[in-house]
Amino acid sequence: MSAPENPWRVARDAARTRADALGLPTTALEDWRQVRVAALSTAIPAATPIDDLALKAAIAQWRLPDLPLAVLVNGVLQPALSDAPAWVRPLSALPAVERDALLTRWLTALPACDVVGECWSLADCAGGLHLTPTADAPSAAAPAVQILALSTGGSHGCRIVITVPRAVAAQIVVQHVALAATPARTCVTVEATVADGATLTLDELVRGADDARQLLTTTRATLGRDARCHWATATCGGALVRQRVLIELNGANAEADLSATALLSDARQAHVFTRVLHRVGHTRSRQLIKTASAERSLAGFDGVVTIAVGADGSDAEQQNHNLLLSPNARAETRPQLDIHADEVQAKHGATVGRLDAEQQWYMRARGLSVAQADALLLRGFLNESLARFGTDAARAIAVELLP
């Protein structure tokens, strides 16, 4: 009698097969039209071994103060280096029933998955996390954790499953930190279920060695009645940073607030791809994406808000504003509304421009140099989206991105 197959291996192999069938994305694909996809063709060397001393130094450098910590190294939880609460568990610790349900769902979804990054996030997933935030006591502070996702190079994937129970407000900060200066690829898929009356605050920071980094993330959240999801991210880009956020507002009074900030230089690129579905009425979504691009960098935004048939009373806003700081910098923007209900409020706006010469001159007339004026104007421009970070610690780090 042969040994039963490892179910994780089965899932990973299926994801690998699906990824291979999809192949690398090209600009012929509508969703990738704005992206410099050549970055994905870069050969990825194997992960660099890292000793405990270096790892501890990296953790000391990157961890945020006052938040319990879960350390992932190349997608694998490091319990000895973490002080995370008990509700943060590796996927391998899931009971068999839950594990099988999860893998069955993922395997069922694979044939229809046309996003190679999502396939890689499972194919290369050696660990992953499961979070079910719970407060220690009704009067206790909101459950919170920071996930320090360190990459030492190579290609790795990670799947993070978050279930926020009814009426719980959870704060989760994910820092994607690239330690290796060599080309590396990280694919992360976050699946969040936010129950009725629950709130998920999910702050993401993309930090570390930027130039060689490929980071492909998908964050998928479904919201119940009166649920809230606040997602914020800040990045300086990389060889390719692409963050997909898919939100389903499935219960009345559900609300999503998405914001992204990118400050790009050199030949880096960063893309935000959002799909927000108002499945039922009296739901609300806000999106604010602000970018500033210098030198030959590229900022991309592709967002669709869909208001389904019968979702009357929905209220949606989508704003994307981009600054170009040099003649060769680029910003691509595709804000889109897809409305199938009659009584809704929906608006969107997009701008691409340069720093305002009159504002700059006003500041110079008060004694600021051109560089000081530009830095202050840039800070002022990006402050609006940075202010939307839900946790003070993440916001403080995000502000450090600024000049």
Does position 328 interact with another protein (CB under 8 A)? The reply is: no
Name the residue nearer to another protein (CB basis): 96 or 365. 365
Three-state helix/strand/coil letters over 269-288:
EEEEEEEEEECCCCCEEEEE
Name the residue nearer to another protein (CB basis): 79 or 380. 380
Minimum distance from residue 318 beta carbon to another protein (Å)? 19
Kindly identify the residues of this chain, within the stretch 361-400, that bind another protein according to CB under 8 A.
Answer: 361-370, 372, 376-377, 379-384
Q: Transcribe 110-154 into DSSP letters.
A: GGG---HHHHHHHHTBSS-EEE----SSTTSPPPEEEEEEEE-SE
Tokens at 301, concatenated: 């935004």
Indicate which single residue of 98, 114, 356, 392 sits in contact with another protein (rule: CB under 8 A).
356
Minimum distance from residue 385 beta carbon to another protein (Å)? 10
| Sheet containing 228-235, strands listed edge to edge, beginning at the edge strand earlier in sequence | 76-77, 69-73, 144-151, 169-178, 199-208, 228-235, 255-264, 284-293, 315-324, 345-353
Name the residue nearer to another protein (CB basis): 250 or 319. 319
Minimum distance from residue 336 beta carbon to another protein (Å)? 26
CA dihedral of residues 62, 64, 70, 74 (deg, nearest 10): -20
Minimum distance from residue 274 beta carbon to another protein (Å)? 23
- With beta carbons less than 8 A apart as the criterion, state whether 303 and 319 touch: no
Task: Give alpha helix (H) positions in 2-131.
Answer: 7-22, 52-62, 96-109, 116-123
Minimum distance from residue 358 beta carbon to another protein (Å)? 5
Name the residue nearer to another protein (CB basis): 147 or 386. 386
Name the residue nearer to another protein (CB basis): 138 or 367. 367
Minimum distance from residue 370 beta carbon to another protein (Å)? 8
List beta partners, residue 284: 255, 315
Minimum distance from residue 382 beta carbon to another protein (Å)? 7
Name the residue nearer to another protein (CB basis): 97 or 365. 365
Minimum distance from residue 322 beta carbon to another protein (Å)? 15
Kindly identify the residues of this chain, within the stretch 2-31, that bind another protein according to CB under 8 A.
Answer: none
Name the residue nearer to another protein (CB basis): 180 or 263. 263
One-letter amino acid of 260: A
Name the residue nearer to another protein (CB basis): 170 or 292. 292
Q: Contact region for another protein (CB under 8 A) — 63-71, 126-134, 248-256, 358-366?
A: 358-366
Q: Transcribe 225-286 into DSSP letters.
A: TT-EEEEEEEE--BSEEEEEEEEEE-STT-EEEEEEEEEE-TT-EEEEEEEEEE-SSS-EEE
Separation of alpha carbons 177 and 186, rounded Å: 10
Strands 129-131 vs 88-90: parallel, antiparallel or unpaired:
antiparallel
Kindly identify the residues of this chain, within the stretch 110-149, that bind another protein according to CB under 8 A.
Answer: none
* Chain residues that interact with another protein, rule: CB under 8 A: 356, 358-359, 361-370, 372, 376-377, 379-384
